[in-house]
Amino acid sequence: MDMSHNLSAAPKRGRRRAVLAVVLLLACGWLGMAMMGPGARKSPRPSDPALNDRPEKASRTDNVILACPGRVEGANEVTGVNAAVTGILTEVRVREGQRVVAGEVIATIDCNDLNAELQAALAAVESARQARRRLLRGSREEERHIAADKLAEAEAIRRQSQAQAQRMATLFEKGDVSREGLENARRDTSVAEASWRAAVDQHSLVNAPPLPEEIARADAEVSMAEEQVRTSQARIEKCTVRAPQAGTVLQRHLNPGEAVSAVFPQPIVSLADTSQLRVRAEVDERDVGHIFVGQSVSILVDAFPEKRFAGSVSRIGALMGRKKVRTGDPAEKSDRDVLEVLIDLAERDERFVIGLRTTVQFFRGKVVNEQDMRP
């Protein structure tokens, strides 16, 4: 009897459990819908702003025709200022970030040995000039007086010998002297004539001006000595390193006491004109036909993802070359030539630094406002 009662009660408990399970499921569904709110149950309408914005973004993305890597640079490329002579740096007068003007002293080099060479060259110039003055002045006054006295003496002896020979000839005709005496008188006259001619030549030589070739040689010696002085001065001038152009010192590589070499040059400082920043982009050879001067671009920088910088193409290179800007992507192709394109920035941003790597997006035409550059 007890066994039959238990068998009849088991189906009733199963039905109650099934009903309770259905009730719990309905309650959970109602509670979930209540928590989501009425706005979640609405189906989106075509007039929803979120959907209306998608076509606009798609059109802006389509406006970009190509993108390529680039780097930020100044109004000119970075210049490494080197030393033109070999020596030891005695002073470096600039610091990083300092603005310099063209010709301003950047560093000095110890050149004491060149100073000694300059003094020797100056002495050689003075010696050559004095030798030229001596040549143009001619003989000394004492030499001229001696030559004049010898000429007068020779003239007197000549006259005396001529008179003696004439007297001996008259006496020979009268038979008062022998022929030997006459011959001796004529011989003395010839000797006196020769001495007189020698005195005349010596007097002319002492008072004669220098020869043209002698003057030319003296001038050449003076010029050579002066050129040696200029060479020494130029070498000493190279011991003072000056800024080749106006700009900002980006980095100082060497300090006082370090050696510099003209054979194996190493820059003392790196200099660039940062008064105006620009971007040098590298366009793949396949995309060169899409680039033109005045074309608007958008510049993206990984360091500032929240902002895009506007610019325009200012100059297109005239020579293809190899890639210099590396993105770091292993899949990047480096076997194609690129064309360098210079881009002027629409506004200056102090966050830009020389060498900063960028991505340049080129648009089909000129961009009117910054919103058109947003993808």
- What span, in angstroms and rounded, lies between the C-alpha atoms of 188 and 362? 113
Q: Are residues 220 and 122 in the same domain?
A: yes
- What span, in angstroms and rounded, lies between the C-alpha atoms of 114 and 228? 12
Which stretches of the chain score pLDDT less than 70? Answer: 1-62, 326-335, 365-375
Number of domains in the chain: 3
Q: Are residues 169 and 310 in the same domain?
A: no
Is position 53 within any domain? no
Q: Are residues 161 and 307 in the same domain?
A: no
Q: Are residues 228 and 134 in the same domain?
A: yes
Edge to edge, what strands does the sheet with 87-92 contain? 240-242, 105-109, 87-92, 259-260
Is position 172 within any domain? yes
Q: Are residues 291 and 355 in the same domain?
A: yes
Q: Are residues 226 and 141 in the same domain?
A: yes
Q: Are residues 157 and 301 in the same domain?
A: no
- What span, in angstroms and rounded, lies between the C-alpha atoms of 64 and 155? 111
- The pLDDT, as a whole number, for residue 26 is 62
Asked if residues 282 and 323 have their Cβ atoms less than 8 Å apart, the reply is yes
Virtual torsion, Cα 270, 271, 277, 278, nearest 10 deg: -60
Q: Are residues 278 and 292 in the same domain?
A: yes
- The pLDDT, as a whole number, for residue 173 is 85
Is position 26 within any domain? no
Tokens of 148: 């004049």
Any long-range contacts for 106-109 (C-beta under 8 Å, 24+ apart)? Answer: 106/81, 106/241, 106/242, 106/243, 106/268, 106/269, 107/83, 107/240, 107/241, 107/254, 107/268, 107/269, 108/239, 108/240, 108/241, 109/83, 109/85, 109/238, 109/239, 109/240, 109/241, 109/260
Q: Are residues 256 and 322 in the same domain?
A: no
Domain, as residue range, for 160: 117-233
- The pLDDT, as a whole number, for residue 6 is 44
Domain of 255, CATH number, reads 2.40.50.100
Q: Are residues 140 and 193 in the same domain?
A: yes
Is position 168 within any domain? yes
Is position 258 within any domain? yes
Is position 18 within any domain? no
Is position 187 within any domain? yes
Is position 171 within any domain? yes
Q: Are residues 246 and 101 in the same domain?
A: yes
- The pLDDT, as a whole number, for residue 63 is 86
Q: Compute φ and ψ for 131, nearest 5 degrees.
A: -65, -35
Q: Which amino acid does the sequence have at 160?
A: Q
- The pLDDT, as a whole number, for residue 17 is 64
Q: Are residues 248 and 320 in the same domain?
A: no
- The pLDDT, as a whole number, for residue 15 is 62
- What span, in angstroms and rounded, lies between the C-alpha atoms of 224 and 241? 27
Domain of 358, CATH number, reads 2.40.30.170
